[in-house]
Amino acid sequence: MTYRPYLVAESARTVLESENDNRSCEEASSHVGTARPVSSWFVTYRVVAVAALGILSVAFFFRYQIANGFTFLAGDRYDGFIELAILEHWYNVLRGFSHWSQTNYFYPVAGTLGYNDGYFLYGMIHSLFRSWGIDPFLSGELVNVLVRSIGFFAFYIAGVRIFQLDRPWALLGAALFTISNNIFIHMLHAQLLSVSFAPLLAVFAHGVLTALAAGDRRALLLWGGAFNCLFAACLMTGFYMAWFFAFLASGTMLIWIIIAGKERRRAFLYRLRDQALPLAVLLCMAIVVNVPFISVYLPKAAETGMHAYQEALGYSPSLLDLVHVGDNNLLYGQLQRSLNRYFRPDLPAFSERTTGFPPLVLLVFACGVVSLGLRNSSPVGDKATALRALALATVLTWAVTLHIRHFSLYEFVYLVFPGAKAIRVIARYQIFLAAPVIAFAMLCLSENVKRMAKPLVAVLCVLLVIEEINVGPPLSLNRLRELAWLEAVPPPPAGCRAFFVSAARPGTYMGAALTGLISHNIDAMLIAETKGLPTINGSSTFMPPGWYLEKPSQPAYQELVGSYAARYNIGHLCALNLQTDSWTR
């Protein structure tokens, strides 16, 4: 047998840590006499308390929708309709009416799901609600409610398991994460709510590393399989948040390799070698479960070329955007308006870069990172090293996304990191970072609470909650009006196999220019998916090659429709006039 002194040292440290844990348990039990199992009523109380706070947090996040009886919903007739069309696509898929990668818009181009986020997990939940007879608009909002609920409980579990927070601090962190100001502002982009799955991915990844350290192959396969499946589903749901998770995880791993020390690195390599077979199985599984994503999105990435670096740089955050909480933040809205007025008066009240953090949580996060760096690594060196790596990765990857004038280190990421060219709005990374920022802030408070006066702790906790409150809900979708409009569209004439919109709805939307470009296209997408009739219209960040079906009021529009139909040999094409709600063959 080969003598491995570093593994002996590692085992000795593990034994010492176990003895310390046992000693702590014995000391704790000495206060109550003989150790007793936790009573069932206490477990029930704890479960009820967690569930109650979760319900309250989610209800507070959706308080405006609840107050108006779910009449006005998050979203609008642009991104909101596109999302609903894709959710309806999955409902059609599960009922056997559509191929999973082929939507009913941009007909008959192949793989049209790849022009937008896939909303896979959302679509599964939406299909369940739709099967209960709930209308598509209400169902779409209930999906958001359930996804945000998953985020609360996932963060709570991650706080307890990964950061080893006391349950009250894990609950406070979960509440802050759920109601966070930056995601509230951007709930009109429902795909960004998929950040709710990030803590659950972290829990699964933590399970993989724990099983790897323990040499437990069965647990390694279970945790690894769960991670593979959820990550693949997240890629097919909202690419931004899945990519951000991979970006931060890669940064954390790289920094851990640098700071862990020779002994830990060698021990880790031997653990990988000892578990080579299950790791190979997991690698093969990761490839298989991501085949659908790769098969749809890789060809579209090659076709479109994705986003230019200068375009992405325009959406990267500046130093001021670190605290860009929006004009409607309850505590800092007036300060935000003043800062913008003096430093960047041309910036609109709301933009893609309105993703910053309230100052107090940033301050506590910074204190937590500094104290973590100064902490003695003994006796919990492995945990401290891992947390240091995550904290440093959070700070450094965040810094990389920032720009100063026209310079940003993100250009290096754009050139070398897989998938980076698909990211257009870099500032959304700050929405993703809500999870680690809040987690480290809670870790800082939990470790220093005994040194602080109780009234001060109470005030800090209240302020942390209040500063996340935003009073400007992005509710632009009138459910009852849009549902009545959709139901008023008559059935297509017999023999109609596809359609195009010949005239857009009356009125303007997002300005006259955009109304002529996208209004008819997006309406057509939702009609196509809910009525089960393909349309050659559509709208997305990228369009199919040779597709120019814009401005139906222009005479050239009919010629473009004819050319498109001839190119794809589309017969039995019908026209839908949305001004009169009438069809023509």
- Provide the pLDDT for residue 381: 61
Mean pLDDT is lowest, of 326-330, 353-357, 541-545, for: 541-545
For the stretch 221-225, contacts whose Cβ atoms lie closer than 8 Å and that sit 24 or more positions apart, written own/partner, are 221/278, 221/281, 221/282, 224/278, 224/279, 224/282, 224/285, 225/282, 225/285
C-alpha 104/C-alpha 537 separation (Å) is 9
C-beta of residue 442 within 8 angstroms of C-beta of residue 159: yes
**Residue 501 three-state SS:** strand
* pTM > 0.85: yes or no: yes
pLDDT for 129 beyond 50: yes
C-alpha 114/C-alpha 126 separation (Å) is 20
- Provide the pLDDT for residue 350: 80
Which among 335, 564, 360 has a CA at the least distance from the CA of 465? 360
pLDDT band at 96 (very low <50, low <70, confident <90, very high): very high
**Residue 72 three-state SS:** strand
C-alpha 409/C-alpha 34 separation (Å) is 59
- Provide the pLDDT for residue 12: 41
C-alpha 567/C-alpha 108 separation (Å) is 11
The rounded percent of the chain whose pLDDT value lies above 90 is 76
pLDDT tens for each residue of 441-459? 999 999 998 899 899 999 9
pLDDT tens for each residue of 51-84? 999 999 999 999 999 999 999 999 888 899 999 9
The dihedrals phi and psi of 16, each to the nearest 5 degrees, come to -60, -40
Q: What is the DSSP letter of 198?
A: H
pLDDT tens for each residue of 235-280? 999 999 999 999 999 999 999 999 998 999 999 999 999 999 999 9
Write down the residue that tokens 């790289």 correspond to.
Answer: 254
